Structure 1
Amino acid sequence: MKTSPLIAKKGTGSTLKVIHVVQHMAPGGLETMVLELLKQANDAERVFIVSLEGEMEQALEHWPKLRQYRSHLFFLAKPAGTQITLVRTLSRLFKALSPQVVHTHHIGPLLYGGIAARLAKVPIRIHTEHDMWHLNCEKRQSVEGLALKLVKPILVADACGVQQQLIELFPNTEPLLIKNGIDCNRFVPGDRLSARRALNLPAHPMMIGTAGRLETVKGQIFLLKALSRLPKHIHLAIAGIGSLDTELKQLCHDLEIQDRVHFLGLVDQMPTFYQALDVFCLPSLQEGFPLSPLEAQACNIPVVVTDVGAAKETLCPLSGVVTEPKNVASLIDSLTLALQTKHLFCPRDFVVENNDVRAMSQAYRNLVFKA
């Protein structure tokens, strides 16, 4: 890999050190994307991830796949609320690691990690904005605007809608567009019956699937209500854990669909999960640019998403179906359409062409060598 003149001036030879700063390293789209950037590092790069919140052992317990990357992870156990001393802690860490790049994700990491990177004289600062719903609050807009002026990062949006909102909210910025990507060599089509056997799912029903934290914002309640009004040969598989676990299971009993809903918990082998499905649905009430629709489509599974955030930007234009959030009737119509037309299209082609993780990784790498 060609060495940046900037890096050579710093006397670091051909090794590029990059530190990603996230709020918390727990299973989620943003965190999965950062982990993919770590995995895509080449022999001339060393990549680390700093999590402002949480502790190492707790994170490894809740997300076992992190164990193989343990030596690349730092956890700062930030408590709730503002903690100005965290800037000093991060600045010392950056000085010790001597990165050429600090890459922040979301407003908290921008504020703490970005300012610390300036204090530590890190030459290249990148900030990726993954969603904009949090900036509906004027106070957050003011904080982010101030942080962008202080940090002066290369500003990146992960979706067209996010890029446009950044331009409107912060007109003095020039946000670039780099869409999130997934590993198309890992998420591939597979045998449906074998996948269902691996997950202990019934072999013959039509299977809708959804994946995400079991929280209100993910909208699983509306999907369960829609399922109760769909034909009985249609089942639902749910991958994920969260605070609504008990409530959602009770709702299944109330709707008398408990025999048609399969709670799988945290699924480690997500390609197998998608391969077991006929249709994937993301019924969220809020989203940024979600990865799960890309993962499902890379496995050649058609997708239904609610029209929130940049979710519809993830869809294959031929097979993808957009539905209204919180609208059970709309969700029923959308799922019915997707199930009826699932055999007509190949959504994998769209993802391979537009959202492969190697292209995303190279796009971020190019930012460094153009700086």
Structure 2
Amino acid sequence: MKKHTNTVIHVVQHLSPGGLETLAINMLKFASSKSNVLIVSLEGNKQDAIKNWSVLKNISHKLVFMGKPAGLSKKTVLSLYRLFKQVKPDVVHTHHIGPLIYGASAARLAGIKNLVHTEHDAWHLNNPKRRLLQSAILALTHPQVVADADVVKMQLDTKLKYHKVAVIKNGVDCERFSPGNQKNARTQLGLLLSDTIIGSAGRLEEVKGHDLLLRAMPFVDSKVKLVIAGDGTKRQTLIQLAKDLHISDRVYFLGLVDDMPNFYRALDVFCLPSRCEGFPLATLEAQACGIPTVAHDVGGTKETLCPDTGLLSQVGDHQALANNINRQLKHNSDRSPRRFVTINNDIRKMVEAYNALSQEKFA
């Protein structure tokens, strides 16, 4: 006899602002009423996580932190094993290689039969040691692997030759991320109503390529402003680069922004200049708000762009990035990228697909 409530535990490396982490939270928020969903973070503690990311406050009772130390930790595997034995989840769902190693191993030891692992990118498989390690863990634990993009599945097929790989593309909340009043959005963010504004969002780390966007700015119309939402270790480096490029008066670093729909609504164009990506959420969020988007052609980014309005450029070519930004600013299209996102990447459809995958195991 089937249970009326299915318990699902998601295992992530940490709970700090990011696409993978946002996705896990959305899978909790939009889970079926018949599901009890928890999120386990290998690293960190609840108090610090909530302090650094306010969206966690309302779901704090659904969060568990392992406090994993740096390096390999047998104690963390044991702690996860005990948690799984106590909670008895129907599904353990791991995200990325670290949670796969710890979560899948502990789940198998605890007798959990239904394992799902989502691969959010595959660039880490270029490292031979990581590739060998992941192949070994997959061989030992045999989870159902989900690639979040066609390009990720292709790389998994090629580099790992793992036969149980499905594709479920990431989704965003298209009710929350929706078109709105640009004037009101700019007023709330303290931006000038008369400016032409491009924006970018993400962790201020090298992988996100904000330095490439800054280098593109001198080739964009001098009246155009750039606003960046996010924080990270490269913040001061990027501020100094803006000074060196003599564009400080055109660039605004907003730090972490809680109301991201409002951020996107304030823009004329959104830009994702990442050096590496899996299947990014930011491009989907911006387009769901009706904002035309420019991005670097990395990972599954191409799969997230509306084919009628989105523009891609080669990574590292800041001149090409600037050209696409200029093209997007000059292009007055009556087509909105929102329809593309609502059809292909609504979070509710994504959760249904994962539920269906798990239900196949319960049947």
TM-score by length of 1: 0.95
| SS across alignment from 1:228 | helix
Q: Deviations over 1:229-288 (max 9, x none)?
A: 222210001000011111211222222211211111100000000000000000011111
Residues 278 and 342 in structure 1, CA contact (< 8 A), matched pair in contact too? no
Q: Which residue of structure 2 lines up, in the alignment, with residue 42 of structure 1? A: 32
Q: Which residue of structure 1 lines up, in the alignment, with residue 146 of structure 2? A: 156
Q: Which residue of structure 2 lines up, in the alignment, with residue 360 of structure 1? A: 350
- Note the aligned Cα RMSD (angstroms): 1.0
Q: Deviations over 1:202-251 (max 9, x none)?
A: 11111000000111111111111211222221000100001111121122
2:277 pairs with 1:272: no
Which of 187, 190, 196 matches 2:177? 187
Q: CA distance change for structure 1 residues 251 and 87 in 2, over 3 Å: closer, same or farther?
A: same
Q: Which residue of structure 1 lines up, in the alignment, with residue 8 of structure 2? A: 18
2:247 pairs with 1:257: yes
Post-superposition offset of 1:172: 4.0
Residues 301 and 342 in structure 1, CA contact (< 8 A), matched pair in contact too? no
Residue identity opposite 1:174 in structure 2: K
Residues 94 and 116 in structure 2, CA contact (< 8 A), matched pair in contact too? yes
Please give the alpha-carbon distance, in whole angstroms, between the structure 1 residues aligned to 2:325 and 2:248: 19
| SS across alignment from 1:284 | coil
Q: Which residue of structure 2 lines up, in the alignment, with residue 66 of structure 1? A: 56
Q: Which residue of structure 2 lines up, in the alignment, with residue 168 of structure 1? A: 158
Q: Which residue of structure 2 lines up, in the alignment, with residue 309 of structure 1? A: 299
Please give the alpha-carbon distance, in whole angstroms, between the structure 2 residues aligned to 1:204 and 1:103: 47
Residues 220 and 323 in structure 2, CA contact (< 8 A), matched pair in contact too? no
| SS across alignment from 1:343 | coil
Which of 196, 216, 219 matches 1:226? 216
TM-score by length of 2: 0.98
Post-superposition offset of 1:328: 1.2
Residue identity opposite 1:181 in structure 2: G
Please give the alpha-carbon distance, in whole angstroms, between the structure 2 residues aligned to 1:132 and 1:43: 33
Which of 313, 317, 320 matches 1:323? 313
2:204 pairs with 1:214: yes
Residue identity opposite 1:143 in structure 2: L
Residues 46 and 65 in structure 2, CA contact (< 8 A), matched pair in contact too? yes
Please give the alpha-carbon distance, in whole angstroms, between the structure 1 residues aligned to 2:87 and 2:118: 22
Residues 167 and 174 in structure 1, CA contact (< 8 A), matched pair in contact too? no
2:137 pairs with 1:136: no
2:188 pairs with 1:198: yes
Which of 338, 341, 361 matches 2:331? 341
| SS across alignment from 1:19 | strand
Post-superposition offset of 1:342: 4.6
Residue identity opposite 1:115 in structure 2: S
Please give the alpha-carbon distance, in whole angstroms, between the structure 1 residues aligned to 2:162 and 2:29: 34
Which of 264, 278, 282 matches 1:288? 278
Residues 201 and 262 in structure 1, CA contact (< 8 A), matched pair in contact too? no
Instruction: Indicate the larger mover: 340-349 or 177-186.
Output: 340-349
Residue identity opposite 2:344 in structure 1: N
Please give the alpha-carbon distance, in whole angstroms, between the structure 2 residues aligned to 1:147 and 1:23: 16
Residue identity opposite 2:123 in structure 1: W
* Number of corresponding residues: 361
Q: CA distance change for structure 1 residues 369 and 287 in 2, over 3 Å: closer, same or farther?
A: same
* Structure 2 residues not aligned, in runs of 5+: none
